């Protein structure tokens, strides 16, 4: 599932950069996020991507958000849907968090299939 959403390049880089110290985190993420939550029935991948973008915006995690913007595009989210999800977050998570998210998303959108 991780490769399907995030793409081979992202996953290969994440796994290739793992160290003895960070490998347990990679294992945890693969098992619980990608092997568990992302594989559950009940929500389409597109919806899961938008929820993830909103969560990462609220948590002020623009670097992680970049990978998930690409994942959202891979899952069929339109640029408009991504923009609206981030704008919605501005009301609930704050404008500064949304500004960071918009900047990160724009960087990915500009380079997606460029």
Alpha-carbon torsion angle 11, 82, 52, 21, nearest 10: 30
**Per-residue pLDDT at 100 exceeds 80:** yes
With helix as H, strand as E and coil as C, how does 75-90 read?
A: CCCCHHHHHHHHHHHH
Domain ranges of the chain: 1-40, 44-114
Q: Tell me what the pLDDT averaged over the chain comes to.
A: 96
Percent of the chain past pLDDT 70, that is, above it, reads 99
The Cα–Cα gap between 56 and 105 comes to: 11
Tens of pLDDT, residues 53-88: 999 999 999 999 999 999 999 999 999 999 999 999
The reported pTM is 0.92
CATH topology of domain 44-114: AhpD-like (1.20.1290)
**Per-residue pLDDT at 114 exceeds 70:** no
Rounded alpha-carbon distances, angstroms, from residue 70 to 8, 46, 84, 111: 12, 12, 16, 10
Give the residue-averaged pLDDT of 19-42: 97
């Amino acid at each position: 599932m991780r490769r399907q959403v995030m793409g081979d390049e992202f996953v290969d880089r994440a796994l290739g950069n793992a160290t003895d110290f960070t490998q347990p985190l990679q294992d945890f993420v693969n098992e619980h996020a990608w092997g568990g939550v992302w594989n559950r029935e009940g929500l389409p991948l597109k919806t899961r991507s938008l929820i993830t973008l909103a969560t990462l915006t609220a948590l002020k995690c623009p670097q992680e958000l970049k990978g998930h913007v690409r994942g959202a595009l891979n899952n069929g989210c339109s640029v408009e849907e991504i923009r609206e999800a981030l704008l919605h977050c501005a009301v609930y998570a704050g404008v500064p968090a949304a500004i960071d998210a918009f900047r990160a998303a724009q960087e990915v959108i500009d380079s997606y299939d460029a």
